[in-house]
Structures are given as C-alpha cells and as structure tokens.
Amino acid sequence: MAGVAVSTTINGDNVEFLCQPDETLLDVLRDRLGLTGAKEGCGTGDCGACSIILDDRLVCSCLVLGAEAEGRHVETIEGMAHGDRLHPLQQKFLEHAALQCGVCTPGFLMAAKDLLAKNPDPTEEEIRFGLAGNLCRCTGYDKIVRAVQDAASVMKGA
C-alpha cells in the first residue's frame, strides 16, 4: 500500500508527512507527529477527546483521514497557548478545577474555543449543547460549564 504525501499547516507551522490512505488524522498527529494532546477515547466520533479545529470547523480527528489534511489548516491543543501564556479558557479550566483526570480536557478546550469563537456570549444551555459532543466522566460537567462561562466573560472584556 502506497503512502500519501501530505503538506499541511498545523498550529501555524508548515508540516509535511507521509501516511497510509486509511490512516486517520488522529493517528497521524499522535503517532507520526508526536502531538499526543488529542486523545482516542472511542475512535468513532462519540467522545470528542480527539477534537481539533480544521479550517475553522471543530471536528473529531478520528473521523478525518490524514490524507484529507492536504492544504488545510489544523489547530490542536498544542497550539492553544501563546508561548508560556495560557489561553483564557485554559486558565479558567485550571481555576475552576474543570478537570479531574484531564484526559477529556484537550477536546473540551478545543470545543469551547470553537464555541466562543462563534458565540462569544453563550447561555448556559448553549454551552451545554455546544459541548455535548465531548464526554467527561469525572466532573458531571458543572465546573466545565462554569469555567467556559467565566472565560467568555474574560474574553469579552479583553
């Protein structure tokens, strides 16, 4: 099986890689590029732990082929902070203890970032439905929702 050569942009950097035609973008990120922030919780798009932003759309990277990244812009959790300055969402997740085990956290942060980009002032209900594609088994979501609300108000003020 011949590999597919892909040229793409990840977190603003030009990246080239070779992958198998059936290899998911998640596997490429994790196994070929060492970007293990996106997690595989299910591999079927049901848990959101592998969420990334692909050309301004939130997607599950387990449901995208690596080959599809050709010429596109990929954003992962690794690109969320600016240097050592955390994104307000990252900061608020820490302050609100919106994570326990933390394995779902990168996915939630990407989903929350996408949500606030499209709706800077969401209601609690909009946050809850906006994050419904991300499963968390530890927190009962309470502190996650509060962290997103708090981050939204900080980001509006900024």
Nearer to other proteins, 101 or 156 (CB): 101
| C-alpha span between 56 and 150 (Å, rounded) | 23
Closest separation between CB of residue 156 and other proteins, Å?
21
Task: Indicate left, alpha or beta for 68 from its phi (over 0: left) and psi (-120 to 50: alpha).
Answer: alpha
Query: Site mask, other proteins, residues 27-46, x = CB under 8 A?
Result: ---x----xxxxxxxxxxxx
Q: With contacts defined by CB under 8 A, how many residues of the chain interact with other proteins?
A: 82
Q: Which helix (H) or strand (E) holds 6?
A: strand 4-10
Q: Are 39 and 106 in contact (CB under 8 A)?
A: yes
Is the separation of the CB atoms in 138 and 157 below 8 Å? no
Question: Please, which residue, 15 or 42, has the CB nearer to other proteins?
Answer: 42
**Least CB distance to other proteins at residue 32 (A):** 11
Q: How far is CA 86 from CA 42, 93, 117, in A?
A: 28, 11, 17
Q: Does 74 bind other proteins (CB under 8 A)?
A: no
Confirm or reject binding of residue 120 to other proteins (CB under 8 A).
no
Chosen residue from 5, 7, 95, 154 binding other proteins by CB under 8 A: 95
Task: Work out which of 74, 88, 116, 134 binds other proteins, going by CB under 8 A.
Answer: 134
The CA distance from 81 to 20, in Å, is 31
Contact flag: residue 18 with other proteins (CB under 8 A): no
Does position 21 interact with other proteins (CB under 8 A)? The reply is yes
